Chain A
Amino acid sequence: MSFINYSSREINCKLVYYGPGLGGKTTNLQFIYAKTSPEAKGKMISLATETERTLFFDFLPLSLGEIRGFKTRFHLYTVPGQVFYDASRKLILKGVDGVVFVADSQIERMEANIESLDNLRQNLIEQGYDLDKLPFVMQYNKRDLPNIASVAELHEALNPTNVIEFEARATTGVGVFETLKAIAKAVLTELRRGSGG
């Protein structure tokens, strides 16, 4: 849930990167961390297993600048993608303001994408949210790999509501900041809309 502090003049929002295991959620955050100036970012935290699989979450605090004298701070989280960490995923969705779904474009991961998207929708319902009413951006990652589904196929399977979508190669950063900007913008726009502005 966004938090507006009229005393320290800050707007805080929570973004969650969701998607199947090994799809590139952590890589998105690592690229953002690597390419952001030191004054705009805090420390990146990864609660990972010894084999670098996300165990609980990754966390990256980012400052995007000021709006009307208020600092905008975005807290970026990833969820663990592996199926059996569902309880952890539910916890991380609490208080979410916007979601990025990082889909794995490889044909053999199509089923995992669909399963993860269903899981996102279901877990949001349990937290009292409706994915169709939440700021939501779709990212088709790993576009550089050889065995990938076409964007049209991914769109048909994963994006029937036509939310804004991006092709990405998170390892080299293609599409990463475009995705971040789109979700941050959607969250701020929704915040304003929710306030009646």
Chain B
Amino acid sequence: MSAPEVMFPEEQRQISSVCQRLHRDANAKAVLLIGRDGQPIAEAGEVGEIDVTSLSSLTAGNVAATGGISKILREKDFTSQFHEGEKTHVHITLVAGRAILVVLFDERSSLGLVRLRVRKATEEMARLFEQVAKKAAASTGPSILNEITDADIDKLFND
């Protein structure tokens, strides 16, 4: 099993604030940041009605399938996708190969504006992910993982 991905509170706060800024600057309905394996990381905007867990998993599956298509076509990863709906449109971008940025928007915005704002946001997010990776690599403090005991694990499965 490979080393787990991590997220720290400071970078989480900064990534959330990039999502909020993108939501505002792109006139988007909602912004979601998802790990490549489908775990939700951050969100901004009108997400109350949305099943974020399901959307995250399906988006990650979609990105993985598109990555598979790009391999067959001997193309590098397709870095962005656009789905045009009747009312809601979806823009999907890879962030530094580590995460997936999803922007949901409607007639209050446009694809051009979303693309423009996404470019800047992904640069900032890529920097923050780099920071997380460095911090995780340098981390020498006790991790939650090595504090876990057999008894903790057994307790989870007590009926």
* Residues of A in contact with B (beta carbons under 8 Å apart): 1-8, 11-12, 14, 42-43, 45, 47, 56-57, 59, 61, 64-65, 67-68, 70, 72-73, 75, 87-88, 90-92, 94-95, 97, 128-129, 133-135, 181, 184-185, 187-192, 194-197
B6 on the A face (CB < 8 A): yes
Nearest residue (CB) in B for A13 is B4
The CA-CA distance from A12 to B37 in the complex, in Å, is 10
Question: Within the complex, which residue of B8, B37, B68 is in contact with A87, where a contact is CB–CB below 8 Å?
Answer: B68
Q: Is the CB of B12 within 8 A of A7?
A: yes
Apart from the given pairs A68-B148, A70-B144, A195-B146, 12 other A-B contacts in the complex at a CB distance below 8 Å: A1-B1, A4-B5, A4-B143, A61-B53, A64-B157, A65-B156, A75-B37, A91-B65, A92-B61, A135-B1, A185-B157, A189-B150
Q: B residues 34-60 with Cβ under 8 Å of A?
A: 35-39, 41, 51, 53-54, 57-58
For B58, list chain A residues within 8 Å (CB). 45, 59
Q: A45-B58, A95-B37, A197-B147 are in contact. Are A67 and B153 (CB under 8 A)?
A: yes
Q: Are A197 and B4 in contact (CB under 8 A)?
A: no
Assembly CA distance A143 to B65 (angstroms): 35
State which residues 126-159 of B face A: CB under 8 Å: 143-148, 150, 152-157
| SS of B interface (majority) | helix
10 pairs of A and B residues whose beta carbons are closest in the complex: A197-B146, A7-B12, A195-B145, A95-B37, A2-B4, A91-B64, A7-B9, A42-B53, A5-B7, A3-B5
Chain A residue numbers with a CB within 8 Å of B153 are: 67, 185, 188-189, 192
CB atoms of B65 and A88 under 8 A apart: yes
A4-B7, A67-B156 are known contacts. Are A133 and B145 too (CB-CB below 8 A)?
no
Is the CB of B13 closer than 8 A to any CB of chain A? yes
Q: Please, which residues of chain A bring their CB within 8 A of the CB of B67?
A: 91
Bound Cα distance A189, B153 (Å): 8
B73 interface residue (CB < 8 Å to A): no
B62 CB to nearest chain A CB (Å) = 9
Contact of B12 among A5, A91, A192 (CB under 8 A): A5
Contacts of A67 in B (CB 8 A): 144, 148, 152-153, 155-156
- B112 to chain A: closest CB distance in Å? 31
- Selected from A7, A56, A187, the residue in CB contact (under 8 A) with B13 is A7
How far, in whole Å, are A45 and B61 apart by their CA atoms in the complex?
12
Q: Which of B1, B35, B57 contacts A3 (CB 8 A)?
A: B35
A6 touches B8 (CB 8 A): yes
| Smallest CB separation, A46 vs chain B (Å) | 11
